[in-house]
Each structure stands twice: as C-alpha cells, then as structure tokens.
Amino acid sequence: MAYQAKEEQASRRGDPSRINLGPKTRPNSSGGPINADGTPRSEAQTAMDARKLLRIDALNHFLFLENESIAGNLTLIIIQCLAYPDAYTCRRATRICHRILETVAWAPHYTNLLGDRLFTQAVKNIVTEPKWMVGVEWDMINVIRDIYCRLVLGQYLQPGGQGVGVQQAVLPHNPNEYEQSKSVDRPLQGGGILTIPSNLPRHVLASLPGIDMQAIDALEQNMREKRSAKAQKDAMRDLLRVAAENLKQQDESRGSNGSGSAAAGIFDRAVEEESLLHNSRRSLTQVEDLPEKLVTRSMVEKQQRPQEQPDGPPTLFNVES
C-alpha cells in the first residue's frame, strides 16, 4: 500500500524518479525501483503485492459481510474497545474503526451500529474529556468526521479517514439520495457511502447540551463548503467544545467531578490545559508578555541556591557559633 501511494504521487506530480527514491536513512544504491522501506524491488514484487491486497480484501469481506454473527460481535467489540481507558488501545481501535467504515458504511443494516452506537461512543469520549483520552483526541475526532461524512453528508474519504471529503452528487430523480462512489467495493481506495443519509448522527449531536439543530445545520454547511481534513475536524471540534463546556457546567452544578463519582485518577475530567478542545482558544487569549530583562534558567537557579559557605574545612574561625 505504501508503494502504491508512492506510485500515485509520482504519476500525480509527473516525476517517475520518485519511484527510485527511498527513505533518507537508506539511500538507493542500485538505481532501480525500490519499495517504500528502501529495499530493492524484485521483478515478482508486483504480483506478490497484488496477492497481499487480495488477501486483505477477502479478509475484510469475510469478517464484515459474509457472516452476520461474526460481523456483529466483532463490531460491538471494537466499539467497546473505544471505551477502554487506555490511550494505546483506543488509538489502535480507531484505525480498525476506519477500516470498518471503509468496508461497510454503504450497507443499510450497519447504520444503527455505526451511526448510533459507534458515533455515540466516539462523541462521548470527546465531550466528557476523560484524562486517559489526552493525546488521542484528534484520532477520535477523525473517527467522528469519517462517520458523519459517509452516513450524513455523502462524502467518502481516503483510507484511514484521511484527505479531503469527496462529495458525491445527488441523484436527479431523488434529491434525498446520493450517487454511490465508484470505490464502494474497494475499501483500500476509500470505500463507499450511505446513499440515503441517516439522521442518527444528527440526533446524537442534538442530544448534547447546548447543541440545537441550527448549530448542526451550520456544521454541515461548513463541512460541505470546506472539505479538507483540517477544516472539517476543526469545525467538529468547535461544536463539541460547546457541548463539553455545557456538560462541565451541569456536572459542577450537581457537585460532580465529571465522571459521576468522587473517584480520582484517569477517570477524572481533563483540565483545560490538557484538553484539546480548548487549545485553539487558549493560544489566542493567553499570550504572555515578553520579559523586559532576559532571565536564563541558570540565573534563576543561582538566586534560589543558599549562600555559599566559606571555602575550606570548618575551623574555629568559620564555624557558626
């Protein structure tokens, strides 16, 4: 997949020499095509890569589309992994969520699992601001964006929820239905969308404190006009910040610490300095003034040290009485 991305980049920029370039740590001495990791590319490498991609597609299809009991239980397990209070586990689960969306977001029988249960858990992780989520917020917001684009806005993304949202056209005979993407059967190229938009993600956002339908309509209009990954994630973060602040005020009025109990540790709410939702606002409002006099760390440490004792071993003349 990494070599395919390199080939696409070379063809898009019209520079075939990029195929022969490897990582900076491993320069190409052979002069021929190399893999993304810098190893020489053999003549049979293309056929080997094609077989690997076929295995990936077949495994995705078997796990999520061939057996309903396997697919349902596996999807529920991944949703539960998002609630496990461990940042590493949660980050790995977000990548599996993107693969699920790329594979089955177009299937109507998955709408309840993806648009309600998965979307609710992802939004809860951001709005409640638990301490164990610090550092994983962008990954979770990217999952929220992927769900909302595919199930509501008629946009599909690149693998892993990256890239701009590719807007699908509305069918001329039915303005409430989108045209399906050409990569619907190819998850490794972006996957598909839900052609008839679902209202489940809208209902989840509307149930948040301080969020009404006007704010949701403004969010969707913004995400349709600005389809870059950064712009859409920033728009989603701004909306969730409003809900997080209102939820925090409700918890404080009830005398709770944000987790519903007096427990301490990872289940506490992250403070404003740690929360991603307040980073942009804090950078604009809290700008410290530059000091008039340069003060280095060594100068501060020197001032904090106690006065030095007289040189030499203690004697009758320099020992304090």
Quick one: 7 exposed, middle or buried, by C-beta within 10 A (0-12, 13-18, 19+)?
middle
Say how many domains are in the chain.
1
- Checking if the pLDDT of 302 tops 70, the result is yes
What was the pLDDT predicted at 152? 95
Q: Does 81 fall in a domain?
A: yes
Q: Does 91 fall in a domain?
A: yes
What was the pLDDT predicted at 274? 61
Q: Are 194 and 147 in contact (CB under 8 A)?
A: no
Q: In terms of DSSP H, where are the helices of 175-278?
A: 200-206, 213-225, 229-253
Q: Does 125 fall in a domain?
A: yes
Give the start-end residues of each E strand in the chain: 155-158, 162-167, 170-171, 174-178
What was the pLDDT predicted at 309? 55
The per-residue pLDDT for range 183-212, each reduced to its tens digit, is 899 888 889 999 999 999 999 999 999 999
Q: Does 27 fall in a domain?
A: no
Cα separations in angstroms, 181 against 32, 157, 169, 193, 304? 36, 10, 9, 7, 66
Cβ neighbours for 67, distance < 8 A, ≥ 6 positions apart: none
- Checking if the pLDDT of 284 tops 50, the result is no
Q: Does 269 fall in a domain?
A: yes
Q: Does 15 fall in a domain?
A: no
Q: How many residues make up the chain in this entry?
A: 321
Distance CA 148, CA 224 (A): 11
Domain range spanning residue 166? Answer: 64-276
Which 3 state secondary structure label does DSSP give 254?
Answer: coil
Give the single-character DSSP code of 40.
B
Report the predicted TM-score, pTM, of the whole model to 2 decimal places: 0.74
Q: Does 6 fall in a domain?
A: no
The per-residue pLDDT for range 75-117, each reduced to its tens digit, is 999 999 999 988 899 999 999 999 999 999 999 999 999 999 9
Q: How many CB atoms lie within 10 A of CB 185?
A: 14
The per-residue pLDDT for range 239-280, each reduced to its tens digit, is 999 999 898 888 777 765 444 443 345 456 666 656 677 665
What mean pLDDT comes out for the span 6-34?
65
Q: Does 111 fall in a domain?
A: yes
Q: Are 104 and 111 in contact (CB under 8 A)?
A: no
Q: How many CB atoms lie within 10 A of CB 190?
A: 20
